[in-house]
Amino acid sequence: MFAEYGFDGAKSQQIAAAAGVSEALIYRHFPSKEALYRAVLRRAVLSQNQSIAAFGSVAPSARGLLEMLERSIGYAMKGSESPNADGMRLIYGSLARDGNYARLIYRRSKRLALPELRAALAAAHAEGALEGEPVAPENISNLMSQIVSMIIASRLQTPPVFAGAGDDASQLREMIWFCARGIGLRSEVIQRYFAPIEAEPREMSAP
């Protein structure tokens, strides 16, 4: 209910009906709607931890950067089928209000992701896999969070808000190319990453 209607729009009667309990029972466990909302947000943070754990680590290398992009964008393309779809709806509701919850989640995500991103960028630079103006890891993290969030948001609806050309696999590939070139990865490095896909089809990396 909070994800669908936001804090102000979600009524305690609706919440009780959805849970199949009485409104009085809810207030026996939670002294106010604010206390219930805080409990929901704590559960959403735990869900974020589970998503990050399922995402797995990546090697500090140019290939690691590409795997990071594939997993992030591939996860986002699941939209309403993603394990944390309701958590993302809470974030969008927060963005439409004071932004406090969204700020908390994005700060946590950046703090947890930055060490691997920095290591992968440093390794890619040492490999000679990067070219052009260096992009700060913090800005890459911010941009990817915004891209991934918008992809998920557009795919929480059926059909998706933004209709792309080609099937999901081809759209995923093109978005990886777009983001990888923006980071500064050389075209030949990106092409090598996709070579196994062209030679022998494989499953997309699971987030």
Rounded Cα distance, 18 and 15, in Å: 5
Alpha helices, DSSP H, located in the chain: 2-9, 12-19, 23-29, 33-55, 62-76, 85-95, 100-127, 137-155, 168-183, 187-199
Domains of the chain (ranges plus CATH)? 33-199 (1.10.357)
Provide the percentage of residues in the chain whose pLDDT is more than 70.
Answer: 89
pLDDT at residue 5 greater than cutoff 80: no
- Write the single-letter amino acid at 197: I
Q: What is the pLDDT of residue 54?
A: 64
CA neighbours within 13 Å on the CB side: how many for 188?
Answer: 4
Average pLDDT, the chain: 85
Q: What is the pLDDT of residue 197?
A: 55
Sign of the Cα torsion 84, 89, 64, 114 reads negative
Q: What is the pLDDT of residue 55?
A: 67
> How many Cβ atoms sit within 10 Å of the Cβ of residue 40?
20
Rounded Cα distance, 111 and 92, in Å: 20
- Write the single-letter amino acid at 133: E
Model pLDDT for residues 31-84, shown as the tens digit of each residue: 999 899 888 878 877 777 776 666 668 899 999 999 999 998 998 898 888 777
Rounded Cα distance, 84 and 51, in Å: 7
Q: Is the peptide bond before 159 cis (omega within 30 degrees of 0)?
A: yes
CA neighbours within 13 Å on the CB side: how many for 153?
Answer: 12
- Report the alpha-carbon angle 161-164-166, nearest 5: 145
Rounded Cα distance, 134 and 145, in Å: 19
Q: What is the pLDDT of residue 204?
A: 45
Q: What is the dihedral of CA 170, 173, 175, 181, to 10 degrees?
A: -140
